[in-house]
Structure 1
Amino acid sequence: MKKTLFTIILFHFSMLLSAQETFHLVQFNDKKQTNFSLSNPEEYLSASAVNRRKVMDIAIDSTDLPVVQSYIDAVAATGAKIWHPLKWFNAVIVSNANPAEIEKIASVSKVMDMSDKTMGGIQEDLKTETYNYGKSEQQNVLLGIDKMHADGNKGEGIHIAVLDAGFRNYTTNPFFSDLNLGEAFDFYAKNSNVADDHTHGSDVLSTMAAFDEGNYVGGAPEATYYLYRTENTAYESRIEELMWVAAAERADSIGVDIIQSSLGYYDFDDASQNYSHTDLNGKVAWITIGANHAFTKGILVVSSAGNEGVGSWKKISFPSDSPFVLTVGSVNLTTLNKAISSSFGPTADGRTKPDVMAAGEGAWVVKSTGTVSTSNGTSFSAPQMTALCAGLMQALPEGTMPMDIITRLRRAGDKFSAPDSLYGYGIPNYERALLITDLEENESLFKKVKVYPNPVDGTAIKVELPSKFKNMDLEFVWYTMAGQVIQKQEAVNEKNIVLLELPADHRGQYLLLRVSTEEYYKTFKVKVN
C-alpha cells in the first residue's frame, strides 16, 4: 500500500515537472481590439478598486484593461492550453504550446519559455504606456514626447488646424488610417477634397498624426485634425495670406486649440508686393495680423521660422515675426547644431526669434507614397513642436492660455539663460516645461540651500537656508518626476531650517522639491526610500 502511494506521488510529481517545462508566456502587441474602455472602468474593476485609484490619485490605464479575448482565442486555436491571462503583462499563460505557430499570429509580440530566467522581471514602469517609435524615436525623444506619451498625453481632446498646400493621399495612406479628422477644406476649390493637392501638408501632418507602431509614431496621434488648403503652389501672391486668415477664422469658429502653419511669406511673383526686413515688426503683414487676431481668440499659433538661412533674405518669414506666435527653428537631428537653412532673427523691433528649436534637418517624415524617409526644413520642426504643445495642453489645467504655453517652452529651452537670434531659447523638453512657473529660476541665489538627508527615510526632510533667506515667505512644492503637483507647504524662514513633511504614498520614488521665494525658485531631486 505504501509502495503504491509512493508511486502515485512520484507519478504526480513527474507530471508536475513535465507540465512546468512546457509552460510559456505569450505576450501581445497591444489591446487595440478590446471591447472595454478606460472611461468605463466599472466594467472590469470593482467599485472598491476604482475608488482606491481615485483616493490614491492613480490613473486607470491600459494595464487595467483585460487582455483581448480574440487574441487569446487565436492562441488557443493553435492547440495550446490556456491557463490565465495577465493583464498587467498583456499576456496569457499557456502550456502544450507550439511557439513557432503562436509567433505567426499577428497580435503576438513574443513567446517566452518560462524556464528561461532571463525573461522575468519588470523592465519598465507598468503604469505607463510607451510606443515602439521606429524611425521617429530620436526626434520624439529629443522633445521628451516619449515621456509625454508615457504620461498618457497624446493629444486626446486637442483640436489642431493644419494650414498648408495640400494633403495628398492622406485618405489612402495607411499611416493615417487612425487619423481623427475634424474636417478638410480647400479654400480655393471651396470643397472638402484636399487629398489631391500638394504633398507638403501630408509630410507635415505625419510628424504629428501618423501612426504605425514599430515604423513611425507621430507626436500627437490622438489629437483631432482640421486640414485646410490655403497655399497655392501655382503662384506666390498676398492672396495666399488672406486665404490663411480665412482658414484661421474658420478654425476659430469651430473651436480649434492650435493652428499649425509651416508656411511663410516675404516675396511674391509681383515684386511690388514684397515685404522688407523693416516689416518684421509683428504688425505689418496680413498673415501676421491674422495670427495676432487668432491669439486674441485663445488659439496658439505655431509657425515654422523659414528656410532662408542661406538665401539672400536669411531672416524669419511672416507670420513668424508676431510676438504672439511660437516660432520654431530647425536643428540637425544628429548634431543638434542649427540647420544651415534655418531662418533666424531678431525681429525688426529687436525681439528674439526663433522662439525654440526642434529637429528639422534629417527629420523623419511619412511621405504621401506611404514610405518613411528623411526631409529637411523648419516645415517639419514646427509640427513636432505643435505635438509637444498639444501634450502640454492636455497635461495642464483646462483654459491654459497660449502665452503660458509659449513662455513655458521658452523657459524650458536648453539655451534659456542665453538666448540668441540663431537658436532662440533652444530645444525645450516636455518634463522641464511642466515644471515651469511664472517664477524665474535662480541658481546662484539658492547655491547654499541644502536639502537633507537625501536619500531620505522616515516622514520628514530638512531644508537648510542661508541667512539671506531669514524671515522670507517661502513655498515648498513637491512634484512627481513627470511634473505633477503632489503637495504644497508655505513657511516663514525663522530659524534657517524648515522641516517638511514627505508626501504620503510615494515611497521608493524620486520626487522633485521646488523651493521658491516670491520671485525665484530652484528645484531639487529627492530620493524617498
Structure 2
Amino acid sequence: MKPFFIILFLSFVFELQAQETFYLVSFKNKDNTTHALDRPEEYLSAEAIARRTKYSIAIDSTDLPVPQANIDEVETTGATIWYPSKWFNAVIVSEADSTAIAQLSIVDKVMNMSDKTKGGIERSEEIEWKRSNVDNQVQNELIGIDHMHEMGYKGNGISIAVLDAGFNNYDSITYFDETDILDTYDFYSKNATVEDDHHHGTEVMSTMAAVGGDYLGGSPEASYALYRTENVYYESRIEELMWLVASERADSLGVDIIQSSLGYYDFDDASQNYTHDDLDGRRAWITMAANHAFTKGICVVVSAGNEGLTSWKRITFPADSPFVLTVGSIDKNEVKAESSSIGPTADSRIKPDIMALGKACYVVGTSSNVKTSSGTSFAAPQMASFVAGLLQSDANLTPSQIFQKIRNSGSRSTDITNDYGYGTANFEKSLTVTSIHDLNLLGDLKVYPNPVNGERFQMEVPQKVVGKTLDITWYDMSGRKLDKNKLHQVEKVTILNVPKKAQGNYLLLKVSADKETKTIKVKVN
C-alpha cells in the first residue's frame, strides 16, 4: 500500500522507471575474469578481507567481480545496464531484448521480474507525532541497551549498513552531527545523494545513531553506510535486486552488520507475488542475498514485517532466511504488537527470532523532532545496535554465535512460539553464553523413524543431555500448541508418543533443555 501523499507527488522520472521492464541476466561462469582469487585487494577493501580472515572464510568465485567482457556483450544487444551482481554472477538490465540476450553463448538464463518473489516497504504505523518531553530510555532499557552503554559498548569500531527507502534530511538533523557516515548511495538515481528521498530510513537510523538532549541511540559510536534500495513509488521485484547489489557493496566495504527494515511479499504486478510456500529461506532473491551476506561473515538484522492484521499475517522476505536475525515488535509491557508478523517459515522454522520495542517507539524525525512511531521497522535497528554491542564486547564472535546468544537471552527462550520467537532480548543475559559448546547442547538430537508410522517413535539425545530435564512441546503447522510434557532424568533413547489425532499431518516437535531449543518437523503417517 502506498501513502496517498506519495501517489500525489509521483514525478515523471519515477513514472518512467515504473514502466521499465527489468531482467536479471545470469552467466554460465566467470572464466574470462581479469581478476584473481589471490589478488582480492583489487575488488575487496582491507576491512572486507580482514573479516574473511577473522572468520576463516575463503575468498571464492562469488567474490570475483562479474567479467566486464560479459557485461559489454549483453550491452551490445541494446540493453541498458544497471548493476552487476557478483554473488549471483549476473547483471541487471532494462530496455532489453530478452530473446537476443538469451542467444549469447555466455548467458545461462534471462529472468524477468516474475521469475519468483514479492515486495514493498513494510507498513510503518506512525501513531503519534509530537515534540516529546520523554526520552527513548524505555526502548533501551527493555532490551538492556542502557546496561550495554554502561559497560562501554556503544558500537565503537563497528560498521553498519542501513538498507532503506531514503534518509530524508539526515544531513541537516542535529542529532546526527557526530554520526560517522562511511558511504551513501542511491541505487535508483545512481548517485551518492540519499537525503532527498523518503524519511523512513532517517527514523530507522535514529534509533541507532541519534544523539541529542535526552535521546541516545543504541550504537551512536558505530559507523554507517546509507543505501537507498526501496522505491516507494512502485512495488516491483527490482527492489530486491537493488537490495542484493547494496549488500554486495556493503560487503566489499567491509561492514559488520546489515540492518534492513524492508519486507517484501506482494507487488504491483501480481505475477511477481509470493505465496506462503515460498517462505523457505532459499526462494526469494532478497533472501538469497541475505544468505550470501551471512556466508561473508556479516550479521544481517531484519524486521519481521507488519502483516499481523492482514490476510498475509506471516513474516515477509528476507525475514524467512535461517541466517538472519528476524525481529518482531512488542509494546513497553512486552506484549506483542497485533500488527507484528508471525511465523513459521514454510519449512517449519520458528520466526521471528527475537522481540524489541516497536509499538510507540521513540525516533527522530526529519525536522529534528522526537516523536513516536510504531512497527517492526523500529524494533529491528535496536537489535542491530544490540549486535554491535556484542561484537564490540568480543570481536571474534561469529554471526551464528551472536544470534544464538541473542536467542538464548530471550525472555521466552524455553517456550518459543511463532508469535514471540524467543521473547524479549536482554543484553546482560546474552553475555552469559560464553562458548560455542554451550550453543550446541541439542545439536545432535535425533528422532526416528521420521516419517512416523503409528503412535510412537524414538528420540535419541546427545550424551551431554542424558540425565537432564527436557521440555517436549508439540505444535501443528499453524503454530497451535497441541501437547506439552516434561521428561526428567532423560535417558539416551526415549520412546515418545505422538499427540492424538495427528495421523496424516506434519507436526513440529520442540525440545528444550538448559535454555536451548531445537525444533524438528515430524511427518505422522
Q: Under a length normalisation based on structure 2, what TM-score does the superposition of the two structures give?
A: 0.58
Alpha-carbon distance in structure 2 between the residues aligned to 1:439 and 1:238: 40
Stretches of structure 2 that go unaligned for 5 or more consecutive residues are 1-132, 442-463, 468-512, 517-525
The CA RMSD measured in Å over matched residues stands at: 2.0
Say whether 1:388 aligns with 2:386. yes
Q: State the match for 1:290 in structure 2.
A: 289
2:413 to 410, 413, 416: 416
Alpha-carbon distance in structure 2 between the residues aligned to 1:276 and 1:193: 35
Q: State the match for 2:430 in structure 1.
A: 433
The 5-angstrom pairing of residues 30-69 of structure 1 reads none
Alpha-carbon distance in structure 1 between the residues aligned to 2:206 and 2:515: 38
- Superposition deviation, residue 135 in structure 1: 1.1
| Secondary structure, aligned partner of 1:435 | coil
Alpha-carbon distance in structure 2 between the residues aligned to 1:301 and 1:236: 23
Count residues with an aligned counterpart: 313
Q: State the match for 2:367 in structure 1.
A: 369
Kindly indicate whether the alpha-carbon contact (under 8 Å) linking 2:167 and 2:199 is maintained by their aligned counterparts in 1: yes
Q: State the match for 2:86 in structure 1.
A: none
1:172-222 residue CA offsets vs partner (Å, 9 max, x unmatched):
00111111110111011111110000000000000000001x321100000
Kindly indicate whether the alpha-carbon contact (under 8 Å) linking 1:439 and 1:521 is maintained by their aligned counterparts in 2: no
Alpha-carbon distance in structure 1 between the residues aligned to 2:343 and 2:143: 22
Alpha-carbon distance in structure 2 between the residues aligned to 1:175 and 1:325: 29
Q: State the match for 1:448 in structure 2.
A: none
Kindly indicate whether the alpha-carbon contact (under 8 Å) linking 1:134 and 1:217 is maintained by their aligned counterparts in 2: no
Q: State the match for 1:228 in structure 2.
A: 227
Kindly indicate whether the alpha-carbon contact (under 8 Å) linking 2:401 and 2:439 is maintained by their aligned counterparts in 1: no
Superposition misfits of 4+ residues, deviation over 6 angstroms: 519-522
Say whether 1:379 aligns with 2:397. no
Could you tell me which amino acid in structure 2 is paired with residue 263 of structure 1? L
Could you tell me which amino acid in structure 2 is paired with residue 344 of structure 1? I
Q: State the match for 2:304 in structure 1.
A: 305
Could you tell me which amino acid in structure 1 is paired with residue 283 of structure 2? V
- Superposition deviation, residue 436 in structure 1: 1.1
Identity of aligned residues (%): 57
The 5-angstrom pairing of residues 57-456 of structure 1 reads 135-212=135-212, 214-333=213-332, 335-396=333-394, 398-437=395-434, 438-439=437-438
Alpha-carbon distance in structure 2 between the residues aligned to 1:323 and 1:374: 31
Report the CA distance shift for 1:441/1:259 in structure 2 as closer, same or farther (over 3 A): closer
1:96-131 residue CA offsets vs partner (Å, 9 max, x unmatched):
xxxxxxxxxxxxxxxxxxxxxxxxxxxxxxxxxxxx
Alpha-carbon distance in structure 1 between the residues aligned to 2:334 and 2:412: 12
Could you tell me which amino acid in structure 2 is paired with residue 352 of structure 1? I
Kindly indicate whether the alpha-carbon contact (under 8 Å) linking 1:208 and 1:218 is maintained by their aligned counterparts in 2: yes
Alpha-carbon distance in structure 2 between the residues aligned to 1:344 and 1:202: 26
Report the CA distance shift for 1:439/1:217 in structure 2 as closer, same or farther (over 3 A): same
1:268-319 residue CA offsets vs partner (Å, 9 max, x unmatched):
0000000000000000000000000000000010000000000010000000
- Superposition deviation, residue 336 in structure 1: 1.4
Alpha-carbon distance in structure 1 between the residues aligned to 2:379 and 2:203: 11
| Secondary structure, aligned partner of 2:290 | helix
Kindly indicate whether the alpha-carbon contact (under 8 Å) linking 1:258 and 1:300 is maintained by their aligned counterparts in 2: yes
- Superposition deviation, residue 520 in structure 1: 6.4
| Secondary structure, aligned partner of 1:383 | helix
Q: Under a length normalisation based on structure 1, what TM-score does the superposition of the two structures give?
A: 0.58
Alpha-carbon distance in structure 2 between the residues aligned to 1:192 and 1:136: 30
| Secondary structure, aligned partner of 2:359 | strand
Which has the bigger relative contact order, CA under 8 A and spacing at least 6? 2
Alpha-carbon distance in structure 2 between the residues aligned to 1:194 and 1:176: 15
- Superposition deviation, residue 440 in structure 1: 6.6
| Secondary structure, aligned partner of 1:310 | coil
Stretches of structure 1 that go unaligned for 5 or more consecutive residues are 1-132, 443-468, 473-518, 523-529
| Secondary structure, aligned partner of 2:355 | strand
Q: Over alpha carbons, which structure has the higher Rg?
A: 1
Q: State the match for 1:117 in structure 2.
A: none
| Secondary structure, aligned partner of 2:226 | strand
Report the CA distance shift for 1:440/1:252 in structure 2 as closer, same or farther (over 3 A): closer
